[in-house]
Amino acid sequence: MIIVFFGSGDFTFPIVKRIKEEFTLAGVVVTKPKPRGRGLKIRLPEVARWAEEQGIEVFTPDDPNDKEFINTLTKLNPDIFVLSSYGHLLKNELLEVPRLGGINIHPSLLPKYRGAAPIQRALMAGEKKTGITVIFMDEKIDHGDIIFQRELSIKEDEDYGSLSSRLSYLAADIIGDVLRAVEAGDYKRVKQNPQEKSYAGKIKKEETMIDWHNSTEKIYNLVRALSPQPGARTVFRNKELKIMAVEPTDRKLSPGICHIENKSIYVGTGDGSVILRKVKPENRRMISGLDFINGFRIKEGEVIG
């Protein structure tokens, strides 16, 4: 089976590697990278650099639905497209290139959390479970018929980094069987229930700022959803402080007020407090809560936020 893969980012890497092990990976399509840094250098994502090392063609089209690019992929004679975490919608003319169409691997239990940030939004909402859903693609966002779905329990202290990794390896474990089932026609198409749909929009910068008047649970879930990237933000001594890990407690403190006890720093919330376990001061590396207390000589009653 000849496959063209669309997608980039850490989540896709185990999936595309597994496809390479079991099938013919004819090409990898990634979103065109933007110039970055002082020299405005263009750096391909890790999955693209890996593909080049494997001798696999890498494509970075401005628009994958462009006629010329469609002709380029047609010449590869793919049997199917596999997509995950790709920044463009594929239109019907492109999806008609492979004889078996295109499938999308989505890290949620569709139709819940359609869109760009399903893992982060599930953590923010305090969900107890998520999963992997494979759908046939159509021209709408995460809308097509479901052909495979598997649940995964979310661990109580899990953050975005660890949950994304577990979902990625779950997807890698099932992709081979899914592709063989599609090729054999041995699958069942299930329509998504529009009454159950929800959207997981891209995280806006203003959403990453902690409001210490919110409940302990809401702050805890926000920190988990944004760790390790981009990090939940607050302000301390007029500088940005990223809160990377916290522990909820029942101790009552006023919102944003610091309390030091047993080598731990508590910060008040709307209905209790959290202990800061890991923080990242502005322009510094991530440190423990204890190193934060000692390094910054935190005073009892100081205010964060």
Measured CA to CA, the distance from residue 76 to residue 98 in angstroms comes to 9
* Alpha-carbon torsion (175, 176, 177, 180), positive or negative: positive
- DSSP-assigned beta bridge partners for residue 57: 27
Strands 129-136 and 102-106: antiparallel
- The response to whether 253 counts as a known ligand-binding position is no
Q: Which phi and psi angles does 46 have, rounded to 5°?
A: -55, -40
108 a known binding residue? yes
The pair of three-digit structure tokens given for residue 202, joined into one six-digit string? 């891209």
Residue ranges of the annotated binding site are 108-111
Residue ranges of the annotated binding site for (6S)-5,6,7,8-tetrahydrofolate are 108-111
